Chain A
Amino acid sequence: MRFILRRLGFYLIAFWASITLNFLLPRFMPGDPVSRMFARTQGKMQPEQIEALRKMLGVDTRPLWEQYVDYMHNILTGQMGVSISRFPTPVTEVIASQIGWTLLLGGTALVFAAIIGNLLGILAAWRRGGAIDSALPPLLIFIGSFPYFWLAMGALYLFGVVLGWFPIRHAFTDGLEPAFTWEFIGDVGAHLLLPALTIVLVSIGGWMLGMRNTMIATNSEDYITMAQAKGLRPGRIMLRYAARNAMLPSVTSFGMSLGFVVGGAMLTEVVFAYPGVGYQLLNAVQGLDYPLMQGLFLTITAAVLLANFLVDILYVRLDPRVRSN
């Protein structure tokens, strides 16, 4: 319990830090975002928009701490202001309409990459020097060396444009009404497949190598020798004895990778024009939509922290050593 509380405290601090960062960035950065925006929109902004911006970016004359308190209060009550580029939609509404797509894309990719990668790692460590162990790691490191977006663009070009196997943009066909019908779900799946595949392809290597290296250490433990001496089936020793104990670091990196789900899928979303938060974040940056930018960043951070907290709770379930102290 103490462990959980400690972690909770830590996540709260981390969240506070990111809110504060968000608050301070526009106020202390060289250059004035508001004037940049005025120049860009050339007086086409409505008074409400200017007012919203002023409030968000702290272009007001009140003392800093008062603005800070105000800002904190707004964030904690879920008032993230109004989007500039999609005026007058509130930032929270824009985000809510998009986070689902990101979770779908990133979550699918993460789960598949973790399962396949860990299984390959287990097999590689179990048969050290075997086919999987000697051929796959260099190959996967090599694939992992390519920039995500580059591979994604290549895949998009090859499978989407040249071969025409997959749709090349968006999460579902334009004009299709979102509904729980097989037609719609199938369409979403078709749009999901290629982006998810590219993420799985590049991230599988990390999982595999991590698992392989922990597993090699576990394999030399005495209880493995003991299990072999008892005459247990090798498959059982591999999965129930060695892999099970080598899983913990993977669980931790699963938590960390959730950060990748919401944040890192950004490049993939941009390449495939997938309507998730990452794609929206880039649009917000390009459109100088500062309120939306900040709202998205906070949402992404909050999602990452929450996911990590859930993994911590899971960790307590899995590792008795954490529970006992």
Chain B
Amino acid sequence: MTTAILKQPIEPTAARKPNRSFVHGLITNKKALVGMIVMLVFIALALLAPVLFPGEPSRITAMASLEPSPEHWLGTTAKGQDVLALTVHGSRSSLFVGLTVGFASTFIGILVGLASAYFGKFIDEALSLVTNVFLLLPGLPLLVILAAFLPPGLGTVILVLVVTGWAGSARVLRSQALSIRSKDFVAAAVVSGERAGRIMFREILPNMASNVMSTLLACVIYGIGAQAGLEFLGLGDVSTVSWGNNLFWAGNEGALLTGSWWVFVPSGVCIALVAFALALINYAVDEVTNPRLRKIKTPKNTERSAAK
């Protein structure tokens, strides 16, 4: 359901080439480059998982709780599953859920933010109220309550994460859209009789591409982390292989208490690496688009950078 809706609104931003200096700035930014390389490696691993480790990753292939060795690079779990296979396969579910949640929440955020900013008045009041209420409701307990009532499964996890995750992006995008809404060219478009949808998606949206991008990155980070948390609590779909579930089983089988750290470390490090890579890209987007954070050589700053 999500992917179908997703395509329409994101495309205008993507299809319309963003500012060339923005792309250039991102590519030449060291942080962004590191982040993108790490992400590409993980996406490649996720795509190649069935080739690298054919068959069901959770099947029992060896003795229980083996230390890392040439046959099992990351050792085996207490059940005798290969940890490396579990970790590589886990990236599929984690990245999929993270990206889906990220795109869906950002999409809702765009819709709500644009509608709020464009229509203003009552619609803005109402939408802002709903956004703020969702922002204020404590996320993790809400997540847990929803997951407890809904039937377990991947769809539930995604739905629950989107329900709890969209409000933050809506708030950020609304305030950005509001400032663009007050620009003259939007007023010109209104006067020239353009339709509301066209103004929102063709006039306002492309001008907040960088905000949409950093919101999207933040939402993906949220999605991956929250999925892992939910699954760690045993509230995800326990039968799938994902980083969160790997950690859930590691905890359940007492991996740490028996000292088999190799079961516990890889999935956590993977989540951290992905989140870190995305945060780096996000940080870089911020630097490229926010002139105040960029390192420019204004007279005031030269002394300090020279001193460094």
Which residues of A pack against B, CB within 8 Å? Answer: 10-11, 13-14, 17-18, 22, 25-26, 29-31, 33, 127-130, 138, 141-142, 144-151, 153-154, 156-157, 161, 213, 216-217, 220, 256, 259-260, 262-264, 266-267, 270, 278, 281-282, 285-286, 293-294, 296-297, 300-301, 304-305, 308
Whether B271 lies near A161 (C-beta < 8 A) is no
Chain A proximity of B31: nearest CB distance (Å): 8
* A293→B141 CA distance, assembly (Å): 9
> Beyond the given A147-B228, A150-B268, A264-B139, could you list 20 further A-B residue pairs with CB under 8 A, ordered by the A residue number?
A13-B129, A13-B133, A17-B137, A22-B145, A31-B150, A33-B149, A141-B276, A141-B280, A145-B271, A145-B274, A145-B275, A150-B247, A216-B292, A220-B292, A267-B140, A267-B229, A278-B140, A285-B235, A286-B234, A308-B136
B127 near A: Cβ within 8 Å? no
Which of B108-116, B180-188, B256-264 makes up part of the contact surface? B256-264
Per-residue interface assignment for chain B, residues 38 to 66, with 1 indicating a CB less than 8 Å from any chain A CB and 0 otherwise: 00000000000000000000000000000
| Chain B at the A interface: SS class | helix
**Per-position binary interface string of chain B over residues 226-260, scored 1 when its CB falls under 8 Å from any chain A CB and 0 otherwise:** 00110011110000000000010001000011000
Contact A150:B271 (CB < 8 A) given known A30-B150, A31-B151: yes
Find out whether the CB atom of A266 lies under 8 angstroms from the CB atom of B137. Answer: no
Over the window 272-296 of chain B, the binary record of Cβ atoms lying under 8 Å from chain A Cβ atoms (1 yes, 0 no) is 1111100110010000000011010
B144→A282 contact, CB < 8 A: yes
Contact A297 B142 (CB under 8 A): yes
Q: How far is the CA of A17 from the CA of B134 in the complex (A)?
A: 9
A238-B277 Cα distance, complex, nearest whole Å? 33
Best-buried of B129, B138, B149, B280 by chain A (most CB within 10 Å): B138
Q: How far is the CA of A30 from the CA of B145 in the complex (A)?
A: 14
Instruction: Name the interface size band of chain B.
Output: 35 or more
Complex CA–CA separation, A142 to B278 (angstroms): 11
For residue A213, which residues in chain B have a CB less than 8 angstroms away from its CB? 293
Partner of A141, one of B136, B225, B283, B292: B283
Check if A305 sits within 8 Å of B279, measured CB to CB.
no
- By a CB distance below 8 angstroms, the chain A residues around B275 are 145-146
16 A-B pairs within 8 Å (CB atoms) are namely A26-B149, A129-B295, A141-B276, A145-B221, A145-B273, A146-B272, A147-B271, A149-B232, A263-B139, A267-B140, A267-B229, A270-B233, A282-B144, A285-B233, A297-B145, A301-B137
A294 (CB) vs chain B CBs: closest residue:
B145
- Please indicate the chain B residues that have their CB under 8 angstroms from the CB of A278 in the complex: 140-141
Closest residue of chain A to B148 (Cβ to Cβ) is A285
Specify which chain A residues have a CB less than 8 angstroms from the CB of B292 in the assembled complex: 216-217, 220
Bound CA span A159–B45, Å? 33
Interface majority SS on A: helix, strand, loop or mixed?
A: helix
Query: In whole Å, how far is A87's beta carbon from the nearest beta carbon of chain B?
Result: 19
- Chain A residues lying within 8 Å of B133, measured Cβ to Cβ, are 13-14, 17
Decide if A297 touches B141 in the complex (CB within 8 Å): yes
In the complex, B121 has a CB within 8 A of chain A: no
Say which residue of B234, B264, B308 sits within 8 Å of A129 (CB atoms). B308
A104 → chain B, closest Cβ, in Å?
18
| Residue in contact with A142 in the complex, picked from B151, B228, B272, CB distance below 8 Å | B272
B137 surroundings in chain A (CB, below 8 A): 14, 17-18, 301, 304
- Any A CB within 8 A of the CB of B146: yes
Cross-chain contact B129 with A296 (CB below 8 angstroms) = no
CA distance A127 to B305 in the complex (A): 10
B148 surroundings in chain A (CB, below 8 A): 285, 293
Q: List chain B positions with a Cβ less than 8 A from chain A.
A: 129, 132-133, 135-142, 144-151, 221, 225, 228-229, 232-235, 247, 251, 256-257, 261, 264, 268, 271-276, 279-280, 283, 292-293, 295, 301, 304-305, 308
Of all chain B residues, the one with the shortest Cβ separation from A30 is B151
* Complex contact A263–B138 (CB within 8 A): yes
CA distance A106 to B247 in the complex (A): 24
A147-B279 contact given A161-B257, A266-B141, A293-B145, CB 8 Å threshold: no
Contacts of B256 in A (CB 8 A): 153, 156-157, 161
Given contacts A26-B149, A263-B139, A308-B136, is CB(A142)–CB(B276) below 8 Å?
yes
Distance, CA A256 to CA B264, complexed state (A):
31
C-alpha gap A217/B151 in the complex (Å): 48
> A300 contacts which of B138, B229, B232 (Cβ < 8 Å)?
B138
Distance to closest chain B CB from A310 (angstroms): 14
Q: In the complex, which residue of chain B has the Cβ closest to the Cβ of A25?
A: B149
B141 / chain A contacts, CB cutoff of 8 Å:
262-263, 266, 278, 281, 296-297, 300-301
B283: A residues at CB distance < 8 A? 141
B94 CB to nearest chain A CB (Å): 11
Decide: A10 near B132, CB < 8 A? Known: A264-B140, A267-B140. Answer: yes
Top 10 nearest A-B pairs (CB, nearest first) are A263-B138, A150-B268, A145-B275, A145-B276, A146-B272, A157-B256, A145-B272, A285-B148, A29-B149, A14-B133
Per the bound structure, the CA–CA distance linking A165 and B305 in Å amounts to 43
A315 to B268: give the CA distance in the assembly, Å: 39
Residue ID in chain B nearest A217 by CB atoms: B292
CB <8 Å contact, A148 and B305? no
CB distance from A21 to the nearest CB of B (A): 8
Nearest residue (CB) in A for B145 is A297
Contact assessment for A285 and B257 in the assembled complex, using a CB-CB cutoff below 8 Å: no
> Can you name the residue of chain B whose Cβ is closest to the Cβ of A162?
B259
Q: By the criterion CB–CB under 8 Å, are B146 and A147 in contact?
A: no
